[in-house]
Every structure is written in C-alpha cells, then in structure tokens.
Amino acid sequence: MKIRINAAAIIVLTGIFSTAHAVDAYVDQFISYKNASQNDANLLGFQNGTPGTLINVSGALATGAPTYGEWVAVQSGYEAIYSFTGQKATTGLNIYSVANGANESAEIYGRLNSTDSWSFLGMAYEPLTSSGYSAQSSFINLSGFSNGIAQVKVRSLSDGGWSPGYDLMGIQGQGMVAAPVPEPETYALMGLGLIALLVNRRRKINVE
C-alpha cells in the first residue's frame, strides 16, 4: 500500500511540475508596428505581387514559418513586435529576411513579459545572397538571457532596395520552453499528491 501511495503521489507531482520542451517554434502573434514617434503605423510588405510594388499587409504575414515571396518591410526607425504564445525561447533566435536583400540591418530586442524592459539581443542582417525571394537567417544567441525571451522587437536601421527597410519573413525561437498556468483541476491534483505524501509519512512515523 505504501509503495502504491508513493508511486501515485510521485506521478501526480511529476506531471504537474514537468515543463514541456520543444526543439523550436515560430512567433505566432503580431503585437504592434510603430514609427519613430511610437505611433501606430501602416505596415507595407510583399505578397503574391509584382516585384517593385509594395502593398499594405498585416503584421501576421511574418508569423509562422517563412513563405517564399512574402514579407513585411520594417522601415528605418520603425519597430515591429511579435511574441510566442505561452512559450519562451531560451537558447537562440533565427531572424528570417529575404535572401535578395539590399544589405539592410535591424536591431533585435527581447523581453519575457510585456511589463519588462527591452533588452538588446543583437543585430540581424539582410545581405544579397540570392536572386530569388527565399528566406535567409541571422542567428541571435540567447545564452546571456537566462529567463528566456517571449516577445521580440525588430527595429530597422536602413531603407535600401525597392522594398525599403528590413524585409522580415519570420522569427524562430530555439530551446523553447512551455510554461502553462495551472488550471483549478491541476491545483486539485497537486493537493491530492501532497496529501498522499503526508499520510504515508505519518503512517511511517506511527510504525516507528
């Protein structure tokens, strides 16, 4: 009986406190796009159109895995903010831009919660490496950010080429950790697990 109680309690508590890990994940939420004065701005981009022509697009175009020939053009001095829903990156970020770039660059910032201050993470570059519109990545190492990054801000520093600004195609996080908030049922299971451990400990003391 003691063995069964211990085993049940351990299983319950392990399931509650375990953290799910994933190899990588892409940002899945667009938060905002602001100009140099921190006012909301219209976002331009390229999507199934004629090269040389930009249209108004949704920031969601850069969520998920990069799609050939689709991007948002973050203009110089402007900022685009994205997030991982219910997850945080702990080891690195891949910032995807258009391979047919014009040597634009962007500052990458990150934070864990919306109430935290932004931390500078590194630079992302968009060199000319191909004549097509496939994706290329700049890697940002997060080894110095032990709390992880859940929100990412891309601030463009240049306006080169026919698509002015840093042409963002996607953001991928590495070393992803999911930390969901426990639901009431989970707290109930936690209580049962703790009670089982306490009952078993009391029985052991009584026997001794």
Write out pLDDT tens, residues 154-172: 999 999 889 999 999 999 9
Assess whether 168 and 207 both reside in one domain.
no
State the pLDDT confidence band at 191, using cuts at 50, 70 and 90: low
Assess whether 81 and 31 both reside in one domain.
yes
* d(C-alpha 192, C-alpha 15), whole Å: 13
The verdict on pTM exceeding 0.85 is: no
- Other C-beta atoms closer than 10 Å to the C-beta of 25 total 20
Above 50 in pLDDT, residue 13? no
63 touches 29 (CB < 8 A): yes
- Other C-beta atoms closer than 10 Å to the C-beta of 193 total 20
Above 60 in pLDDT, residue 7? no
Assess whether 171 and 191 both reside in one domain.
no
Assess whether 152 and 204 both reside in one domain.
no
Assess whether 88 and 151 both reside in one domain.
yes
State the pLDDT confidence band at 183, using cuts at 50, 70 and 90: very low
* d(C-alpha 193, C-alpha 6), whole Å: 9
Assess whether 47 and 146 both reside in one domain.
yes
Residue 66 belongs to domain spanning: 20-178
SS3 assignment, position 80: strand
* d(C-alpha 160, C-alpha 177), whole Å: 36
* d(C-alpha 47, C-alpha 36), whole Å: 25
